[in-house]
Amino acid sequence: MAVAVALAGVLAGAGAVAVAVAVAVAGAGAGVGAVAGAGALAVAVFFLPAFYVAWRVRKEDPLFAGSRPFGWWLGSLGGTNFRGANLTRARFRGAVLKQTRFVGVKELKGVDFRDAKGLRLANVKGTPLEDPQARDLLVSGEGPGRSYAGLNLKGVFLAGARLAGADFTEADLSEADLTGAILREAILAKTQLIGTDLAGARFTGACIESWNIDRSTNLQDIDCDWVFMAAGGEFRQPDSGVFKQGEFSKLFQEVAETIDFIVDSRMELAALLAAVRKLREGGKAGLEVQGWWVQKGDAAVVHVAAPPEFDRERLHAELIKEKEMEFKLLETEYKARLLGKDERIADFKERELRLETLLSERANIYQQHIINSTVTGATLNQEKIQGSINTSARDIGAQPDAGRESEPP
């Protein structure tokens, strides 16, 4: 036993030593009583810490995550080994999978783990089952309102799963089986759904902002009254009323041939158009904007068509990167133009002030020449006089009519 402890310590470190001792002690059973002297002391030293570590690993404490791979390996010794096996669409519903080794399995697409037992003690390293949240979801088929954002769920079996309000933002659900799944008000923003089977799923109220679908995504018989094209209940589609039967499937199956983007301003739209043009000129022949439709204000959904041989996920990332670069260039150019406009306005105001000052000075000159003067038989051209000319009887004086004879007294 002391040799086993030493070997385990060399291989896995102190934490793994504790786990190994705990397993060894449990396996030895009554043999522990036969250990004497130094062996008994070694067991006493390592037994309690090992028991504690093993308990925390079993509880999947994040602090002991580093000990899990060794614990999985140790726990699966002697169990069924599926390394290199193709388990596509295999059914393990209700099966006891304790000590089973799935590490190195060739294919797990569409495997039904519903109600399976002992998966926590199976070696699932390198599979979607490695994440505790994903594993619990695949076993229970229940996840309403929970967050699975960013998880690798590629090829999983979730047919009929209850996922209302679940958050799958940026999760990978490519090639997954979601037939008949309840996805009402679920968040599928930037979710990868290439090759996913969504036939018969319930979608009303779901957010599908920038979800990634293509012709291989099955959208037949979707039950959906409306969806939102952006987070926070923004950009409802349709704008009012509900989809007619089959309308959602028809509309979005056609859109599935494109890569969709949501832009919030005209400048962002211009940046996206410039990004598409730049990639096309750089060798992405066939890449073009198929169209866009305005949602609210200047916001719009833009459909970018691409040949089927292109890697859509990679192309989407490239377009986003180029769009951001083009947006910064346009923003810089706009600020420069705005600054130039402000300078021109300031220059115009300065010129206007100078002109007003000049006109005011000239008006004063005209007033000085006319006031307190007697104007007789003169013609005043008012169009040439700037300012105001105030005349009164006392300034000009009353002149007798030269052509009129005086009446006798």
Last residue of a domain, one of 74, 91, 119: 74
Q: What would the mean pLDDT of 163-181 be, rounded to a whole number?
A: 97
- The yes-or-no verdict on residue 199 having pLDDT over 80 is yes
Number of CB atoms found within 10 A of residue 50's CB: 25
From 355, 386, 402, the end of a domain falls on 355
**Could you tell me where the DSSP H helices lie in 260-311?**
266-281
At 241-286, the pLDDT tens digits run 999 998 998 888 777 777 888 888 888 989 999 999 999 999 888 8
d(CA 268, CA 166) in angstroms, rounded, equals 30
- Mean pLDDT, range 108-120, rounded to an integer: 92
Q: Which domain holds residue 310?
A: 257-355
Question: Distance of CA 274 to CAs 258, 291, 325, Å?
Answer: 17, 14, 10
Residue holding tokens 């018989």? Answer: 221
Provide the 3-class DSSP secondary structure of residue 273: helix
What pLDDT, on the 0 to 100 scale, is given for residue 388?
Answer: 45
Residues 262 and 249 placed together within one structural domain of the fold: no
Tokens of 317: 């990332």
Specify if 371 maps to a domain.
no
Task: Return d(Cα 287, Cα 280) in angstroms, integer.
Answer: 6
The CA distance from 160 to 195, in Å, is: 18
Residue 48 neighbours by CB under 8 Å, 6+ apart? none
Query: Is 156 contained in some domain?
Result: yes
pLDDT score at 53:
60
User: Does residue 161 form part of some domain?
Assistant: yes
Let me know whether 293 and 343 are in one domain. yes
Per-residue confidence (pLDDT) for residue 35, from 0 to 100: 46
Q: How would residue 24 be classed by pLDDT, with cut points 50, 70 and 90? A: very low
Residues 109 and 158 in one domain: no
| Residue 383 resides in a domain | no
Sequence-distant (6+) residues with CB within 8 A of 79 are: 98, 99, 100, 101, 122, 123
**pLDDT score for 291:** 72
Let me know whether 162 and 224 are in one domain: yes
* pLDDT higher than threshold 80 for residue 367: no
Comparing 34-38, 227-231, 291-295, 311-315, the range with the smallest average pLDDT is 34-38
Lowest mean pLDDT among 118-132, 205-219, 315-329: 118-132
What number is the average pLDDT over the span 120-139?
89
- The answer to whether residues 340 and 268 belong to one domain is yes
- Find the range with the poorest average confidence among 91-95, 188-192, 383-387: 383-387
CA dist., res. 111 & res. 134, Å (int)? 13
* Cα 154 versus chain centre, distance: 19
CA distance linking residue 292 with residue 306, whole number of Å: 15
Q: List the beta bridge partners of residue 107.
A: 86
Same domain, 231 and 175: yes
* 313/270: higher pLDDT: 270
For residue 16, being part of any structural domain is answered with: yes
pLDDT at 29: 44
How much is the pLDDT for 15? 45
Q: Are 344 and 268 in the same domain?
A: yes
Domain shared by 271 and 339, yes or no: yes
**pLDDT category, 51, cuts 50, 70, 90?**
low
Spatial neighbors of 51 by CB under 8 A, at least 6 apart, are 18, 22
| Cβ atoms 257, 301 nearer than 8 A | no
> Is residue 117 domain-shared with residue 213, that is, in the same domain?
no
Would the pLDDT of 373 be above 60?
Answer: no
14 and 99 fall within a common domain: no
pLDDT of residue 210: 82
Q: Which two tokens stand for residue 357?
A: 């000052």
Is the confidence at residue 96, as pLDDT, over 60?
Answer: yes
298 and 345 belong to one structural domain: yes
pLDDT at res. 1: 37
**Tens digit of pLDDT for each residue in 52-69?**
665 555 555 556 555 555
Asked whether residue 357 carries a pLDDT value surpassing 70, the answer given is no
**Mean pLDDT score of the chain, rounded to an integer?**
75
Instruction: Tell me the pLDDT band of 358, cut-offs 50, 70 and 90.
Output: low
Q: What's the rounded mean pLDDT across residues 322-349?
A: 78
Contacting residues for 196 by C-beta, under 8 A, at least 6 apart: 173, 174, 175, 176, 177, 178, 213, 217, 218
Q: Tell me if residue 167 falls in helix, strand or coil.
A: strand
Q: What is the CATH number of the domain that holds 320?
A: 3.30.70
> Is the residue at 329 inside a domain?
yes
Q: Which segment of 113-127, 159-173, 334-348, 354-368 scores lowest on mean pLDDT?
A: 354-368
Query: Which residues fall within 8 angstroms of residue 337, CB to CB, at 6 or more apart?
Result: none
For residue 405, tell me if it sits in a domain: no
Query: When comparing pLDDT for 400 and 356, which is higher?
Result: 356
Which of 224, 253, 282 is the endpoint of a domain? 253
Q: Which residue has the tokens 């076993």?
A: 139
Q: Which two tokens stand for residue 9?
A: 């310590």
- Considering the chain, what percentage of its residues have pLDDT values greater than 70? 63
Answer whether residue 163 is part of any domain.
Answer: yes
Specify the number of domains making up the chain: 4
Q: In terms of domains, do 87 and 170 share one?
A: no
Q: Average pLDDT for residues 101-119, to the nearest whole number?
A: 90
